[in-house]
Amino acid sequence: MSQHILCLPGDGVGTEILREAVKVLDVVRERFQLAIEVTHGLVGGAAIDKEGTALSEATLKQACGADAVLFGAVGGPQWDHLPMDQRPEKGLLRLREGLVSFANLRPAILYPQLAQASSLKPEIVAGLDILIVRELTGGIYFGHPRGVKTLENGEREGFNTYVYSESEIRRIARVAFEAAQKRGGRLCSVDKSNVLEVTALWRDVVSEMARDYPDVELSHMYVDNAAMQLVRDPRQFDVIVTGNMFGDILSDCAAMLTGSIGMLPSASLNAEGKGLYEPVHGSAPDIAGQDKANPLAMILSLAMLLRYSLDEQAAADAIEKAVGGVLNQGLRTADIADDSGETVGTAAMGDAVAAALMT
Protein backbone atom coordinates (compact mmCIF):
# COMPACT_ATOMS: atom_id res chain seq x y z
CA MET A 1 0.00 0.00 0.00
CA SER A 2 1.38 3.38 -0.86
CA GLN A 3 1.73 6.19 1.62
CA HIS A 4 0.31 9.60 0.90
CA ILE A 5 2.06 12.97 1.22
CA LEU A 6 0.03 16.12 0.76
CA CYS A 7 2.13 19.07 -0.44
CA LEU A 8 0.96 22.55 0.49
CA PRO A 9 3.46 25.07 -0.93
CA GLY A 10 1.61 28.19 0.24
CA ASP A 11 2.99 31.60 -0.64
CA GLY A 12 6.18 33.50 -1.40
CA VAL A 13 9.28 31.35 -1.42
CA GLY A 14 7.12 28.44 -0.22
CA THR A 15 6.34 27.40 -3.80
CA GLU A 16 9.97 27.63 -4.89
CA ILE A 17 11.45 25.62 -2.04
CA LEU A 18 8.72 22.99 -2.05
CA ARG A 19 9.39 22.38 -5.76
CA GLU A 20 12.98 21.50 -4.82
CA ALA A 21 11.85 19.17 -2.03
CA VAL A 22 9.57 17.35 -4.49
CA LYS A 23 12.52 17.03 -6.88
CA VAL A 24 14.48 15.38 -4.07
CA LEU A 25 11.53 13.19 -3.12
CA ASP A 26 11.25 11.94 -6.70
CA VAL A 27 14.87 10.83 -6.56
CA VAL A 28 14.61 9.02 -3.22
CA ARG A 29 11.35 7.42 -4.29
CA GLU A 30 13.15 5.90 -7.22
CA ARG A 31 16.36 5.03 -5.39
CA PHE A 32 14.68 3.41 -2.37
CA GLN A 33 11.68 2.05 -4.28
CA LEU A 34 9.24 3.89 -2.02
CA ALA A 35 5.54 3.61 -2.71
CA ILE A 36 4.60 7.20 -2.01
CA GLU A 37 1.75 9.06 -3.64
CA VAL A 38 2.05 12.86 -3.74
CA THR A 39 -0.85 15.28 -4.11
CA HIS A 40 -0.90 19.08 -4.00
CA GLY A 41 -3.24 21.61 -2.42
CA LEU A 42 -3.54 25.28 -1.62
CA VAL A 43 -3.01 27.04 1.68
CA GLY A 44 -2.49 30.60 2.91
CA GLY A 45 -2.75 33.56 0.56
CA ALA A 46 -2.82 31.30 -2.49
CA ALA A 47 -5.90 29.57 -1.06
CA ILE A 48 -7.50 32.90 -0.12
CA ASP A 49 -7.15 34.07 -3.72
CA LYS A 50 -8.48 30.85 -5.33
CA GLU A 51 -10.76 29.31 -2.70
CA GLY A 52 -11.76 32.30 -0.59
CA THR A 53 -10.25 30.96 2.63
CA ALA A 54 -6.73 30.29 3.92
CA LEU A 55 -7.54 26.59 4.45
CA SER A 56 -10.61 25.02 2.90
CA GLU A 57 -12.49 22.20 4.63
CA ALA A 58 -11.58 19.96 1.69
CA THR A 59 -7.86 20.64 2.08
CA LEU A 60 -8.02 20.08 5.83
CA LYS A 61 -9.78 16.77 5.20
CA GLN A 62 -7.09 15.73 2.74
CA ALA A 63 -4.41 16.70 5.28
CA CYS A 64 -6.08 14.63 8.00
CA GLY A 65 -6.29 11.66 5.65
CA ALA A 66 -2.66 11.91 4.50
CA ASP A 67 0.25 10.17 6.20
CA ALA A 68 2.14 13.45 6.28
CA VAL A 69 1.88 17.02 5.07
CA LEU A 70 4.80 18.87 3.51
CA PHE A 71 4.24 22.57 3.98
CA GLY A 72 6.12 25.54 2.44
CA ALA A 73 5.32 28.92 3.99
CA VAL A 74 2.41 31.37 4.11
CA GLY A 75 1.83 35.11 4.12
CA GLY A 76 2.70 38.23 2.19
CA PRO A 77 2.05 41.97 2.18
CA GLN A 78 -0.89 41.66 -0.22
CA TRP A 79 -2.91 39.92 2.51
CA ASP A 80 -1.72 41.97 5.50
CA HIS A 81 -4.78 44.24 5.44
CA LEU A 82 -7.16 41.32 6.11
CA PRO A 83 -8.70 40.87 9.56
CA MET A 84 -6.66 38.53 11.77
CA ASP A 85 -8.93 35.49 11.40
CA GLN A 86 -8.86 35.68 7.58
CA ARG A 87 -5.14 36.04 7.10
CA PRO A 88 -2.88 33.45 5.43
CA GLU A 89 -1.29 32.53 8.77
CA LYS A 90 -4.70 31.29 9.94
CA GLY A 91 -4.44 28.55 7.33
CA LEU A 92 -1.32 27.22 8.99
CA LEU A 93 -2.74 27.59 12.50
CA ARG A 94 -5.96 25.78 11.54
CA LEU A 95 -3.94 23.03 9.96
CA ARG A 96 -1.86 22.57 13.11
CA GLU A 97 -5.02 22.60 15.21
CA GLY A 98 -6.94 20.25 12.88
CA LEU A 99 -4.09 17.75 12.76
CA VAL A 100 -3.58 18.17 16.53
CA SER A 101 0.12 18.38 15.75
CA PHE A 102 1.00 19.62 19.21
CA ALA A 103 4.65 18.55 19.28
CA ASN A 104 6.84 20.80 17.20
CA LEU A 105 10.41 19.55 16.95
CA ARG A 106 12.88 22.17 15.80
CA PRO A 107 16.43 20.86 15.69
CA ALA A 108 19.16 23.49 15.46
CA ILE A 109 22.32 21.81 14.23
CA LEU A 110 25.41 23.59 13.05
CA TYR A 111 26.85 22.05 9.92
CA PRO A 112 30.61 22.40 10.44
CA GLN A 113 30.86 23.78 6.89
CA LEU A 114 28.71 26.75 7.95
CA ALA A 115 30.51 27.80 11.12
CA GLN A 116 31.57 31.01 9.38
CA ALA A 117 27.96 31.86 8.50
CA SER A 118 26.85 31.91 12.14
CA SER A 119 26.42 35.28 13.75
CA LEU A 120 28.41 33.95 16.72
CA LYS A 121 32.10 33.13 16.92
CA PRO A 122 32.93 29.65 15.55
CA GLU A 123 34.32 28.49 18.91
CA ILE A 124 30.96 29.24 20.59
CA VAL A 125 28.83 27.35 18.08
CA ALA A 126 31.12 24.50 16.94
CA GLY A 127 29.27 21.22 17.34
CA LEU A 128 25.99 22.92 18.22
CA ASP A 129 23.13 20.42 18.38
CA ILE A 130 19.98 21.61 20.15
CA LEU A 131 16.45 20.30 19.90
CA ILE A 132 13.68 22.77 20.66
CA VAL A 133 10.40 21.07 21.51
CA ARG A 134 7.73 23.73 21.08
CA GLU A 135 4.11 23.21 22.13
CA LEU A 136 2.19 24.07 18.98
CA THR A 137 -1.56 23.84 19.40
CA GLY A 138 -2.18 25.70 22.64
CA GLY A 139 -0.99 28.61 24.72
CA ILE A 140 -1.56 32.22 23.81
CA TYR A 141 -1.86 31.41 20.08
CA PHE A 142 -5.14 29.60 20.64
CA GLY A 143 -6.45 30.87 24.00
CA HIS A 144 -9.86 32.52 24.38
CA PRO A 145 -11.08 35.16 24.89
CA ARG A 146 -9.13 37.07 22.26
CA GLY A 147 -9.82 40.14 20.20
CA VAL A 148 -9.87 43.92 20.12
CA LYS A 149 -12.73 45.76 21.79
CA THR A 150 -13.65 49.43 22.14
CA LEU A 151 -13.85 50.68 25.68
CA GLU A 152 -16.46 53.12 26.96
CA ASN A 153 -14.01 56.00 26.57
CA GLY A 154 -13.63 55.13 22.88
CA GLU A 155 -10.14 53.71 23.27
CA ARG A 156 -9.46 50.29 21.72
CA GLU A 157 -8.10 47.46 23.87
CA GLY A 158 -6.49 44.30 22.51
CA PHE A 159 -6.44 41.08 24.50
CA ASN A 160 -5.31 37.45 24.26
CA THR A 161 -5.38 34.59 26.73
CA TYR A 162 -2.37 32.55 27.72
CA VAL A 163 -3.77 29.21 28.85
CA TYR A 164 -2.44 25.66 29.31
CA SER A 165 -4.17 22.73 30.93
CA GLU A 166 -2.19 20.14 32.86
CA SER A 167 -2.83 17.52 30.18
CA GLU A 168 -1.52 19.80 27.45
CA ILE A 169 1.64 20.42 29.45
CA ARG A 170 2.06 16.72 30.19
CA ARG A 171 1.78 15.54 26.61
CA ILE A 172 4.39 17.98 25.30
CA ALA A 173 6.70 17.40 28.28
CA ARG A 174 6.51 13.65 27.66
CA VAL A 175 7.72 14.15 24.07
CA ALA A 176 10.58 16.30 25.36
CA PHE A 177 11.63 13.91 28.15
CA GLU A 178 11.63 11.01 25.69
CA ALA A 179 13.64 13.01 23.16
CA ALA A 180 16.17 13.87 25.88
CA GLN A 181 16.46 10.18 26.78
CA LYS A 182 17.44 9.43 23.17
CA ARG A 183 19.91 12.33 23.02
CA GLY A 184 22.18 13.86 25.65
CA GLY A 185 19.86 13.24 28.61
CA ARG A 186 19.39 16.90 29.49
CA LEU A 187 16.13 18.84 29.34
CA CYS A 188 15.67 22.53 30.02
CA SER A 189 12.09 23.71 30.47
CA VAL A 190 11.62 27.38 29.63
CA ASP A 191 8.91 29.47 31.25
CA LYS A 192 8.17 32.83 32.86
CA SER A 193 7.01 31.40 36.15
CA ASN A 194 8.15 34.45 38.10
CA VAL A 195 5.36 36.46 36.48
CA LEU A 196 2.78 34.27 34.71
CA GLU A 197 0.60 31.79 36.63
CA VAL A 198 0.10 29.62 33.57
CA THR A 199 3.82 29.02 33.30
CA ALA A 200 4.19 28.50 37.05
CA LEU A 201 1.77 25.60 36.54
CA TRP A 202 3.90 24.53 33.56
CA ARG A 203 6.97 24.39 35.82
CA ASP A 204 5.12 22.41 38.51
CA VAL A 205 3.80 19.84 36.06
CA VAL A 206 7.14 19.37 34.30
CA SER A 207 8.90 19.03 37.70
CA GLU A 208 6.40 16.37 38.84
CA MET A 209 7.01 14.40 35.66
CA ALA A 210 10.77 14.41 36.16
CA ARG A 211 10.31 11.61 38.72
CA ASP A 212 9.30 9.29 35.88
CA TYR A 213 12.49 10.10 34.00
CA PRO A 214 15.34 9.63 36.49
CA ASP A 215 17.78 9.32 33.58
CA VAL A 216 16.99 12.86 32.39
CA GLU A 217 18.58 15.84 34.08
CA LEU A 218 15.86 18.51 34.22
CA SER A 219 16.52 22.22 34.63
CA HIS A 220 14.27 25.26 34.41
CA MET A 221 15.00 28.66 32.95
CA TYR A 222 13.06 31.90 32.56
CA VAL A 223 12.54 32.76 28.93
CA ASP A 224 14.43 36.05 29.06
CA ASN A 225 17.47 34.27 30.48
CA ALA A 226 17.07 31.46 27.93
CA ALA A 227 17.22 33.99 25.09
CA MET A 228 20.41 35.39 26.58
CA GLN A 229 21.95 31.96 27.22
CA LEU A 230 21.21 30.90 23.64
CA VAL A 231 23.47 33.61 22.32
CA ARG A 232 25.97 33.48 25.20
CA ASP A 233 26.68 29.76 25.41
CA PRO A 234 24.24 27.78 23.25
CA ARG A 235 26.01 24.46 23.68
CA GLN A 236 24.85 24.26 27.31
CA PHE A 237 21.48 23.11 25.89
CA ASP A 238 20.50 19.65 24.76
CA VAL A 239 16.67 19.63 24.60
CA ILE A 240 14.58 22.72 25.35
CA VAL A 241 10.84 22.39 25.97
CA THR A 242 8.59 25.41 26.02
CA GLY A 243 5.18 26.81 25.14
CA ASN A 244 3.97 27.99 21.77
CA MET A 245 4.97 31.66 21.80
CA PHE A 246 8.28 31.31 23.63
CA GLY A 247 9.14 28.43 21.28
CA ASP A 248 8.37 30.57 18.25
CA ILE A 249 10.79 33.24 19.44
CA LEU A 250 13.57 31.02 20.76
CA SER A 251 13.60 28.86 17.63
CA ASP A 252 14.25 31.87 15.40
CA CYS A 253 17.07 32.81 17.72
CA ALA A 254 18.52 29.29 17.65
CA ALA A 255 18.16 29.27 13.87
CA MET A 256 20.54 32.16 13.49
CA LEU A 257 23.19 30.32 15.47
CA THR A 258 23.30 27.71 12.74
CA GLY A 259 24.17 30.29 10.12
CA SER A 260 20.77 30.87 8.60
CA ILE A 261 17.12 30.29 9.32
CA GLY A 262 17.15 28.87 5.79
CA MET A 263 18.78 25.74 7.22
CA LEU A 264 16.20 24.84 9.89
CA PRO A 265 13.59 22.13 9.32
CA SER A 266 10.75 21.23 11.63
CA ALA A 267 8.34 18.42 12.36
CA SER A 268 4.98 18.90 14.04
CA LEU A 269 3.65 15.60 15.28
CA ASN A 270 0.36 14.41 16.68
CA ALA A 271 -0.12 11.57 19.15
CA GLU A 272 -0.06 8.99 16.32
CA GLY A 273 3.20 10.27 14.83
CA LYS A 274 1.44 11.77 11.81
CA GLY A 275 2.68 15.18 11.08
CA LEU A 276 3.16 18.43 9.35
CA TYR A 277 6.64 19.23 8.12
CA GLU A 278 7.75 22.76 7.37
CA PRO A 279 10.84 24.93 7.40
CA VAL A 280 11.10 27.21 10.43
CA HIS A 281 11.41 30.27 8.18
CA GLY A 282 8.53 32.14 6.59
CA SER A 283 7.47 33.11 3.07
CA ALA A 284 10.16 35.83 2.67
CA PRO A 285 8.14 38.03 0.26
CA ASP A 286 11.18 40.28 -0.26
CA ILE A 287 13.03 37.56 -2.17
CA ALA A 288 10.05 35.55 -3.48
CA GLY A 289 10.11 34.57 -7.15
CA GLN A 290 13.78 35.46 -7.54
CA ASP A 291 15.35 32.02 -7.19
CA LYS A 292 17.22 33.26 -4.11
CA ALA A 293 15.70 31.27 -1.24
CA ASN A 294 17.62 28.48 0.44
CA PRO A 295 15.67 25.24 -0.13
CA LEU A 296 17.69 23.22 2.41
CA ALA A 297 15.35 23.76 5.40
CA MET A 298 12.50 22.47 3.23
CA ILE A 299 14.56 19.54 1.95
CA LEU A 300 15.65 18.70 5.51
CA SER A 301 11.96 18.88 6.55
CA LEU A 302 11.30 16.20 3.93
CA ALA A 303 14.02 14.10 5.57
CA MET A 304 12.26 14.52 8.93
CA LEU A 305 8.98 13.49 7.29
CA LEU A 306 10.52 10.30 5.95
CA ARG A 307 12.07 9.57 9.34
CA TYR A 308 9.20 10.33 11.71
CA SER A 309 5.97 9.72 9.79
CA LEU A 310 6.93 7.24 7.06
CA ASP A 311 9.62 5.36 8.99
CA GLU A 312 11.97 5.43 6.00
CA GLN A 313 15.22 5.91 7.91
CA ALA A 314 17.57 5.06 5.04
CA ALA A 315 15.97 7.60 2.72
CA ALA A 316 16.04 10.25 5.47
CA ASP A 317 19.71 9.56 6.20
CA ALA A 318 20.54 9.74 2.50
CA ILE A 319 18.94 13.17 2.13
CA GLU A 320 20.74 14.55 5.17
CA LYS A 321 24.00 13.14 3.84
CA ALA A 322 23.37 14.69 0.43
CA VAL A 323 22.79 18.09 2.04
CA GLY A 324 26.13 17.75 3.86
CA GLY A 325 27.66 16.74 0.54
CA VAL A 326 26.53 19.83 -1.37
CA LEU A 327 27.77 22.03 1.46
CA ASN A 328 31.12 20.23 1.25
CA GLN A 329 31.18 20.96 -2.46
CA GLY A 330 31.01 24.63 -1.46
CA LEU A 331 27.53 25.31 -2.79
CA ARG A 332 25.93 28.24 -1.00
CA THR A 333 22.71 30.17 -1.39
CA ALA A 334 22.97 33.87 -0.57
CA ASP A 335 21.90 33.48 3.08
CA ILE A 336 24.87 31.18 3.83
CA ALA A 337 27.38 32.74 1.43
CA ASP A 338 31.03 32.41 2.42
CA ASP A 339 33.95 34.75 1.83
CA SER A 340 34.15 33.82 -1.86
CA GLY A 341 30.74 35.46 -2.28
CA GLU A 342 29.81 32.90 -4.94
CA THR A 343 26.23 31.78 -4.63
CA VAL A 344 23.75 29.49 -6.35
CA GLY A 345 20.00 29.88 -6.68
CA THR A 346 17.15 27.85 -5.21
CA ALA A 347 16.76 25.51 -8.18
CA ALA A 348 20.50 24.89 -8.58
CA MET A 349 20.75 23.99 -4.90
CA GLY A 350 17.83 21.56 -5.24
CA ASP A 351 19.40 20.07 -8.38
CA ALA A 352 22.68 19.60 -6.53
CA VAL A 353 21.01 17.73 -3.64
CA ALA A 354 19.10 15.58 -6.11
CA ALA A 355 22.31 14.84 -8.03
CA ALA A 356 24.18 13.99 -4.81
CA LEU A 357 21.45 11.46 -4.05
CA MET A 358 21.94 9.72 -7.36
CA THR A 359 25.63 9.05 -6.81
Residues that bind ligand IPM (CB under 6 A): 89, 92-93, 248, 280, 282
Catalytic residue among 192, 213, 274, 335: 192
By beta-carbon proximity to ligand IPM, the closer residue of 249 and 334 is 249
Q: Is residue 192 annotated as part of the catalytic site, yes or no?
A: yes
Mark 300-327 as b/e (b = at least 16 C-beta within 10 Å): bbbbbbbbbbbebeebbebbbebbebbb
Q: For the chain, how many residues are written?
A: 359
**Quick one: which segment of 54-62, 69-77, 87-95, 241-249 binds Mg ion (CB under 5 A)?**
241-249
Helix (H) or strand (E) holding 129: strand 129-135
In the complex, least distance from residue 18 CB atom to ligand IPM, rounded to whole angstroms: 15
Question: How far apart, in whole angstroms, are the C-alpha atoms of residue 359 and residue 304?
Answer: 21
What is the maximal distance between C-alpha atoms in the chain? 70
* CB-closest chain residue to Mg ion: 248
Catalytic residue among 85, 224, 286, 311: 224
Q: Is residue 252 annotated as part of the catalytic site, yes or no?
A: yes
In the list ligand IPM, Mg ion, none, the entry touching 191 (Cβ below 5 to 8 angstroms by class) is none
Helix (H) or strand (E) holding 209: helix 197-210
Q: Is residue 11 annotated as part of the catalytic site, yes or no?
A: no
HSE, side-chain direction, 13 A CA sphere, residue 130: 30
**Quick one: which segment of 42-50, 163-171, 178-186, 248-256 binds Mg ion (CB under 5 A)?**
248-256
By beta-carbon proximity to ligand IPM, the closer residue of 41 and 44 is 44
Helix (H) or strand (E) holding 188: strand 186-191
Query: In sequence order, what are the beta bridge partners of 221?
Result: 190
Does residue 248 touch Mg ion according to CB under 5 A? yes
In the list Mg ion, ligand IPM, none, the entry touching 92 (Cβ below 5 to 8 angstroms by class) is ligand IPM
In the complex, least distance from residue 89 CB atom to ligand IPM, rounded to whole angstroms: 4
Does residue 67 touch Mg ion according to CB under 5 A? no
CA dist list (Å): 281 to 158, 165, 204, 249, 266: 27, 29, 32, 12, 10
In the complex, least distance from residue 148 CB atom to Mg ion, rounded to whole angstroms: 22
Enzyme catalytic residues: 141, 192, 224, 248, 252
